[in-house]
Amino acid sequence: MRCLVVDDDPKLREYVQAGLSESGYEVETAGDGDAALAVLGQAQRNFDVILLDVMLPVQTGWELLEQIREIGRETPVIFVTARDTVEERVKGLRLGADDYVIKPFAFSELLARIEVVVRRRKTLAPVEIHDVKLDLVSRAAFRSGRKIDLSPREFDLLLALTRAEGRTLTRADLLRDVWGFEREPETNLVDVHIGRLRRKLDRHGPALIATVRGEGYRIPDQV
């Protein structure tokens, strides 16, 4: 787990860095927005969470968060600040922050907030296989960077096959996981939707979904 702490108070940076390091985090710090952007601009610097103060020299934490999002970084951000009005908390969340912690704080609470935010983001992290990417937040599907227009059921079907990580899913598996049927009905529902899904996906790349005769469907490790 990697964390970037952005705060102009060196004592607070040291306190948070020490606590997170003891909890198994790899921590980097920055005292202002320019230093933070310089760290984030390095290709190898990928963080699981950013702790960000509002009152920073040169630019505010609000402005820095906007720049972080503008450069395409979707890293979870938690504001850690003494600015405690409801309006300010709402502003931070609307700008794209994932949480808002008021100073002074108990370190155990900060650690718990970090764990919740990171776990929540990972649950909604995009799912990828080969050249296919599924955005779970917008429920959009892409292949080779091109958006594929899928129905809600087709999206869920592709998501189930993607999460299977190469395992074969039977028709009964898919009827249960995608349609919610506990018993397999006499229907070709799965085959019809697989056919539609294949036609949409295969316009933009090699055949993705393989039929396993007598068993079901899978996405192979290689296509």
- In this structure, are 9 and 32 located in the same domain? yes
Could you say which of 77, 102, 123 is where a domain stops?
123
The answer to whether residue 223 is domain-embedded is no
Listed as own residue / partner, the contacts of 187-194 with beta carbons closer than 8 Å and 24 or more positions apart are 190/157, 190/217, 193/153, 193/154, 193/157, 194/157
- In this structure, are 148 and 179 located in the same domain? yes
CATH of the domain at 175: 1.10.10.10
- In this structure, are 97 and 7 located in the same domain? yes
Could you say which of 84, 103, 123 is where a domain stops?
123
d(CA 178, CA 152): 10
CATH of the domain at 21: 3.40.50.2300
- In this structure, are 26 and 112 located in the same domain? yes
- Sign for the CA dihedral angle at 102, 106, 111, 115 comes to negative
- In this structure, are 106 and 51 located in the same domain? yes
Q: Which domain holds residue 96?
A: 2-123
- In this structure, are 151 and 105 located in the same domain? no
CA 159 centroid distance within chain = 15
- Per-residue confidence (pLDDT) for residue 44, from 0 to 100: 56
Helix ranges (H only) for the chain are 10-22, 33-40, 61-70, 86-94, 107-123, 152-163, 171-174, 189-201
Digitized pLDDT (tens) for each residue of the chain, 223 residues in all: 899 999 999 999 999 999 999 999 999 999 999 999 999 887 556 788 999 999 999 899 999 999 988 877 878 999 999 988 988 888 888 888 889 999 999 999 999 999 999 888 777 778 889 999 998 877 889 999 899 999 989 999 999 999 888 899 999 999 988 888 776 666 788 999 999 999 999 999 999 999 999 899 999 987 6
- Per-residue confidence (pLDDT) for residue 5, from 0 to 100: 97
Is the pTM of the predicted complex or chain greater than 0.75?
no
- Per-residue confidence (pLDDT) for residue 43, from 0 to 100: 52
d(CA 114, CA 77): 9
pLDDT over 90 percentage in the chain: 60
Could you say which of 123, 152, 172 is where a domain stops?
123
- Per-residue confidence (pLDDT) for residue 125, from 0 to 100: 75
Report how many domains make up the chain: 2
Q: How many CB atoms sit inside 10 A of residue 142's CB?
A: 16
- In this structure, are 35 and 81 located in the same domain? yes
Classify 27 as helix, strand or coil. Answer: strand
Q: Which residues contact 45 (CB under 8 A, 6 or more apart)?
A: 4, 28, 39
- Per-residue confidence (pLDDT) for residue 120, from 0 to 100: 83
* Adjacent-strand bridge partners of 5: 29, 51
